[in-house]
Structure 1
Amino acid sequence: MCTSITITSKEGQVFYGRTMDFNMGMFGEDPGTLTSILTFPKGSKLESQYTPWDSKYAVMGVGSKGTICLYDGVNEAGLSGDLQVLMECTHATSDELAKRNLTGLMAEEFVTYVLSNFKDVADIKEHINEYGLIDQPYKVAGQSIQVPAHYTFVDETGAKIVVEPTNQGGFKVYDSIGIMTNSPEYSWHLTNIRNYISLDNIDPKKPRQISKDVTLSPIEMGTGYGMFGLPGDYTSPSRFVRSTMISNHLDDFSSDDGINQLYSAFRTVMVPRGLERASKEDPLSDFTRYWAGYNLSERRIYVQTCRGIGFSTMKLDPNQKEITNTEIDMSNSAKELS
């Protein structure tokens, strides 16, 4: 379970973020991998487990420490994107991809590949039909995994797409409305959101006569009725609807308040630990392991982990020379007031 949201300030600056909801540890809180902020310089050789490549652009994002796998990130051109689970994802063998003249890529490395090779959404659209996902597990932390995934990308102009590998390893591309969650496929979500066309953010103040015998008055003079009927559970369709309606009814905001507004839009889709389990016996909970927000104009990331309320922030340096792994703050850091 994951959610991504994109919003734009009055000045036209784009802010993009995601929650990473997972049933595996990322910061030592449960068994799993270790997560940090990774940076890859322009021109660096990225050692893929399938076919290595050289990065055309400097890239920064949140990923698995000691690998080239980014879960989300931004490049020096202002293109950002993420990986989320899609159970309808397909893969193909190298021979099958070759017969279709498609270059194979690993699902787990796809975000890194796109951000290190393409400058904007238009660039991705022009070349995405040249690629497909290879049917090869990724080895990390002594395990072999194969993530069923789809991807969202947004650039600093506000152009947005969702890329889904549902065509026998090949990709389908959708223009995005600025929201992505998980299964079903994106086309289903775009249809389902129309079931909520009557939702608005206005509190009714007057009684409503629903028949000649019944008149209903709003509770508390209508307070809290904005978005009345908004689904409140943590399923992918409900998070999609909630994120769409909330992000599109925010007050206009300046760029200085962009990250704050972005974070506020995510509060209702952050999953507390313990609410989602595969079974009664499963000790691991599927919950929000981290939140990441990006100021695309500044090429800056903000990260908050499940281990603490502190934030880490870092700006991409397009002139850096070495691949780096930077630890993320896991503390409950706060200013002590006297």
Structure 2
Amino acid sequence: MYFSKAKICLISVAGAFFTFFLFAAMTHACTGVRLVGKDGTAVFGRTQEWGKFDLNAKIAVIARGTSFQGRTPEGNTGLQWDAEYGFAGTLLMDRVFCTGLNEKGLAAGFFYHDGFAGYADFDVKKADQSMAPGDVLSFILSSFSTLEEVRDGLTQEHVVAVVDPDLHKTVPMHLMVTEPGGKCMVIEFKDGQVTFFDNPVGVIANNPTFDWHLTNLRNYGFLSQKPFKAEKWGDLEITPLAAGSGLLGLPGDFTSPSRFVRATVFSQTSRPTDGGLDTVQEVFRILDSFQLPASQSEGTDAGNADKGKSLPSGTQYTVVTDTKNLTIYYHTMFNRRIRKIDLKTIDFSKGPLRSIPLDENRKQDIRDITGKLAVK
């Protein structure tokens, strides 16, 4: 399965500073949503925010049999495993997978969890069972096909605190994993232990903990798709001023508690979908409500932001995965056209890591249809 002796990682995740810096960059204000269509198709999508520099995201493919080695505070001395399953996903700066879908339809993504993630202390005697936070997503997608397998597999390993010498911290994260049947869960790390939460609403954001977010939803039980009923206040009749009055009070800021509430409400009030592309389009519609300007994204006040390279958006891309039809869709800050990767047509049996940029041409492709209106 995922244990293998004396293997050399084909995907380098050495370079602790770069990897951890990337972790901090790529997930601080992201939002994830899962919808299920009428035919049972589960679709998981997420936004990818960062305003400091261009993440140069790519779509990359990992073949079955690819060898990995986990990192520890002593270097690449951790858990060794070979990929049981091939997978594809978004690869940032040629280093770290952020979101992906494997050939069995298991989808996963990780999200920043600052101040709330607490990893195990490193025990050199357990080095061969240990990995850094940056190894977890690849471990899940390459090793498991169901949520139960993920629970069993992660419980046997140790996610350890690998301190970055430049950031002077272990970068925190938590994950959301979705299986083709529609079930999903959130994985968090606290006091050195891994914790699993069933996800009844199919939503994830950032801080604080997932159970806190679920409790916070109780503050918004008054929200409704229906307009509020007319009321008499003395002799004055109070009626809705405009459409959408049932959602008055929905938080509109971009903090993670507010995004979690908003994403949950949008998901619970979404239109019924048939499945497949129909559900994918509805997930895009919801996630497009969370697009941030670059000036409002994390990292824009940092001193070493790209000089003279203004990002067109703080949401660098949005990716949506169809777990039944094994398809990845995405659009980017440069080009809103939706692109597609069909995993069913990819040969996962062999080959090194293959990747292509999310944008071959970083320019919005606009079709001019003025000619169709010309007088003939």
Tell me the TM-score range normalised by the shorter chain.
Answer: 0.7 to 0.9
Q: How far apart are the structure 1 equivalents of 2:265 and 2:112?
A: 22
Q: How far apart are the structure 2 equivalents of 1:194 and 1:91?
A: 30
Match status 1:218 vs 2:240: yes
Kept after mapping to 2: 8 A contact 1:20/1:288: yes
Match of 2:98 in 1: 71
Kept after mapping to 2: 8 A contact 1:61/1:74: yes
Kept after mapping to 2: 8 A contact 1:73/1:80: yes
Query: Alignment partner for residue 184 of structure 1, among 198, 204, 208?
Result: 208
1:45 is displaced (CA, Å) by 1.6
Deviations 1:132-159 (A, max 9, x none): 32222579xx999843100010000011
Query: Which letter does structure 2 place at the counterpart of 1:70?
Result: F
The 10-residue stretch of structure 1 (311-320 or 243-252) with the greater mean CA deviation from structure 2: 311-320
SS for the counterpart of 2:273 is coil
Match of 1:56 in 2: 84
Match of 1:166 in 2: 190
Q: How far apart are the structure 1 equivalents of 2:339 and 2:59?
A: 9
Larger strand proportion of the pair: 1
Query: Which letter does structure 1 place at the counterpart of 2:89?
Result: G
- Residues 117 and 280 (structure 1 numbering): CA distance in 2 closer, same or farther, change over 3 Å? closer
Kept after mapping to 2: 8 A contact 1:302/1:314: yes
Match of 1:269 in 2: 290
1:273 is displaced (CA, Å) by 1.7
Match of 1:20 in 2: 48
Unaligned runs of 5+ in 2: 1-28, 306-310, 372-376
Q: How far apart are the structure 2 equivalents of 1:48 and 1:258?
A: 36
Q: How far apart are the structure 2 equivalents of 1:143 and 1:186?
A: 26
SS for the counterpart of 2:33 is strand
Overall identity of the aligned pairs, in %: 22
Q: TM-score, normalised by structure 1?
A: 0.87
Q: How far apart are the structure 2 equivalents of 1:312 and 1:145?
A: 37
1:40 is displaced (CA, Å) by 0.6
Query: Alignment partner for residue 240 of structure 1, among 260, 269, 287?
Result: 260
Query: Which letter does structure 1 place at the counterpart of 2:160?
Result: I
Deviations 1:101-149 (A, max 9, x none): 992122112111101001111211223221232222579xx99984310
Q: How far apart are the structure 1 equivalents of 2:265 and 2:338?
A: 26
Q: How far apart are the structure 2 equivalents of 1:331 and 1:290?
A: 14
Q: How far apart are the structure 1 equivalents of 2:150 and 2:57?
A: 27
Q: How far apart are the structure 2 equivalents of 1:251 and 1:243?
A: 14
Q: How far apart are the structure 2 equivalents of 1:249 and 1:97?
A: 51
Match status 1:259 vs 2:259: no
Q: How far apart are the structure 2 equivalents of 1:233 and 1:279?
A: 17
Kept after mapping to 2: 8 A contact 1:14/1:158: yes
Query: Which letter does structure 1 place at the counterpart of 2:194?
Result: F
The 10-residue stretch of structure 1 (274-283 or 36-45) with the greater mean CA deviation from structure 2: 274-283
Match of 1:297 in 2: 324
* Alignment: residue pair count: 322
Kept after mapping to 2: 8 A contact 1:76/1:318: no
Kept after mapping to 2: 8 A contact 1:199/1:229: yes
SS for the counterpart of 1:93 is coil
1:325 is displaced (CA, Å) by 1.2
SS for the counterpart of 1:109 is helix
The 10-residue stretch of structure 1 (316-325 or 44-53) with the greater mean CA deviation from structure 2: 44-53
Indicate the RMSD between aligned Cα atoms, in angstroms: 2.6
Q: TM-score, normalised by structure 2?
A: 0.78
Match status 1:321 vs 2:343: no
Query: Which letter does structure 1 place at the counterpart of 2:137?
Result: V
Match of 2:159 in 1: 133
Query: Which letter does structure 2 place at the counterpart of 1:324?
Result: R
Match of 2:224 in 1: 200
Match status 1:41 vs 2:63: yes
Q: How far apart are the structure 1 equivalents of 2:356 and 2:153?
A: 32
Match status 1:250 vs 2:274: no
SS for the counterpart of 1:274 is helix
Q: How far apart are the structure 2 equivalents of 1:223 and 1:274?
A: 31
Unaligned runs of 5+ in 1: 28-33
1:47 is displaced (CA, Å) by 5.2
Q: How far apart are the structure 2 equivalents of 1:179 and 1:333?
A: 32
Match status 1:227 vs 2:254: no
Kept after mapping to 1: 8 A contact 2:85/2:102: yes
